[in-house]
Structure 1
Amino acid sequence: MEELSDFPDGTFHQDMGSPKQALENFITESSKECLVFTIKFCEAFLNSDISEQEKESFIKSNSEIYFPAIELTPIQWLEKVITQIKETL
């Protein structure tokens, strides 16, 4: 899961402004290969045998997002991020 933690930890940190802006910056500044790898790692994580609670805890602990404010659970948020990245490819 180390590969995955680098993405939210490095993108959605305390200096990001907003999660939406942070994602837009990540997409703009990343190579196509990086975006493909990010999708791959995120999907593998979501499809893994880890419990929903462990997944949510992992996402929360590796990002500076206040999920109640965006009205999504951490898993819903990550699924949305994957979709948004795919749309740019």
Structure 2
Amino acid sequence: MENNNEFIEEIEDFLGGTFHQDIESPEDALEEFIKDTTQLGIRQTIDHCVNFLNSNLTDHEKEKIIQNNTEIYFPAIDLSPLEWLREIVYQLKISTEGTENHTN
């Protein structure tokens, strides 16, 4: 588990750098991240998020990390931090499929 700290650092960097206090909305922040990041960068972010979600940390520890590194009021979006991050991973995966951008 020596790389635990590495993927935690990566997830903290992604969350803190993307979902910070200056965002209009989490959706806009994600859209901007996707627009400004290479496909390789998005795939690496997906890998870091999946490693984090599948790690041996407790759900409480994971949720604390997510909450401490985002400026999102989770009750307002009606999702737990873990549910929200799983949705982010799903949206990132969609963004890497095909070459056209579709808005859902």
Does TM, normalized by the shorter one, top 0.5?
A: yes
Q: Which runs of 5+ in 2 are unaligned?
A: 1-7, 97-104
User: Of Structure 1 and Structure 2, which has the larger fraction of its residues in helix?
Assistant: 1
Distance in 2 separating the partners of 1:86 and 1:52: 22
Unaligned runs of 5+ in 1: none
Which residue in 2 is equivalent to 1:15? 22
| TM-score normalised by L of structure 2 | 0.84
CA-based RMSD of the aligned residues comes to 0.4
SS at match of 1:64: coil
- Size of the aligned set, in residue pairs, is 89
Distance 1:53 1:6 in 2: 19
CA distance in 1, matches of 2:40, 2:12: 18
Q: Which residue of 2 aligns with 1:31?
A: 38
* One-letter amino acid matched to 1:9: G
How far apart in 2 are the matches of 1:86 and 1:78?
12
Q: Distance in 2 between matches of 1:30 and 1:9?
A: 15
- 1:69 is matched with 76
Runs of 4+ in 1 over 2 A off after TM superposition: none
Whichever residue aligns with residue 65 of structure 1, its letter is I
- Residue 59 (1) aligns with residue 27 (2): no
Q: Which has the higher contact order (CA 8 A, sep 6+)?
A: 1
TM-score (normalised: structure 1): 0.98
CA offsets, 1:26-47, max 9 Å, x none?
Answer: 0011001110010000000000
3-state DSSP class of the match of 2:71? coil
